[in-house]
Structure 1
Amino acid sequence: MTTPSASLPSLAENLAAAGTAVIPVHPDSVGAPRVSIPVPNGWREVDRGVFPGAYGVWALPPEESLGWADNAVLLVGRLSAPVDAAGLLRSAFVDSRRMPQWREVSTDTGDYQGFPSATITGYYTVETLTLWADNRYVVVGAGGDQYLVQLTVTARAGEEGSETALITAGLTIATSVPTDSGEMP
């Protein structure tokens, strides 16, 4: 990316300016892509009532002394109007770069599983807690609609490793819609 993110709008600002809404979908939404991640041992699915707009949230048990739990948040939303995926993804790094004391480790704008994508990884600090975060955004076409998939994995600095790598590398997106019998065509 050659454009400094300070001059770009965030993804949400970009979509709002275009008048495009993101309508949350869930695993049981008909016609939406099927999205999954591998869940490491010890991680638990968080009740959907806690994050009703999320496709799914998983976390380690919280560390009470820190008030923190390493977590993975998966959001999938149908876009209310078509967007230029490349143009939208130019804004993908803005929110991360706005985090307090953001230190960037890597970015990638290559396709993911054949779909336009952007990923940013780095560290930020909130009060006394330094966190590692990996954010992947993917624009998926399915059934004549476009969907925005976002996977954010956040862990305490120094705790990122094999479990977080398993999650970030294991994001799977399937656009085939099951038949009435539940089988994939």
Structure 2
Amino acid sequence: MDIDKLMSRPGMREYTTEQLATWVNDASQVRQLGQILQARLAAQQIEGDKPGSAKRRARKVGKRFNKVADLLQKAAAECEGLNEAYKRDVLDLPERRAKTLEKKQDRRQMRALAWAKARTVVDRSLTESAHAIAAPETAHGQPATPPQAVAPPPQYVSPQPYSLPNTGAANQPLPNITDLFPEAL
């Protein structure tokens, strides 16, 4: 087969189809041959055989034929996978890369538009704030009164404030908790 023809989509498909048909056909022939040979070996007695040894010997040989047939079928399946991998990883790769690059550029453009829009909104907000601070006038043209500071919310004060007794010296032992808070118990 011409290697240039093999490197094309129809050439690879033709090659893999040919191999697939050959190996599947070979697998079925090997399996049939194994069954025939196993049947003949099971019927053939060799001098000194014990009962059942011919059948065991036939199964061993038949098992090897079946293994060869299974391997041929797996080879046919791998050949089909070869065709798909070649299409995906070699022939379709430039098209997939072009689509990925196009999506990437679209995302970049969308991000740039979003950044521009956010920048416009921030600039407009800052401009309005600067004008409001520079010329604090109401709608009637009179100067606006500056906003008054809001008083902080009241803080919570415990209804029973406890005062700790002054211990005096620093090396004195601490009092018992029941001495400080008699109602707690």
Structure 1 length as normaliser, TM-score? 0.17
Q: Compare CA radii of gyration and give the structure with the larger one.
A: 2
From the two aligned structures, give the one with the greater strand fraction: 1
From the two aligned structures, give the one with the greater helix fraction: 2
Structure 2 length as normaliser, TM-score? 0.17
Structure having greater relative contact order (Cα 8 Å, sep ≥ 6): 1
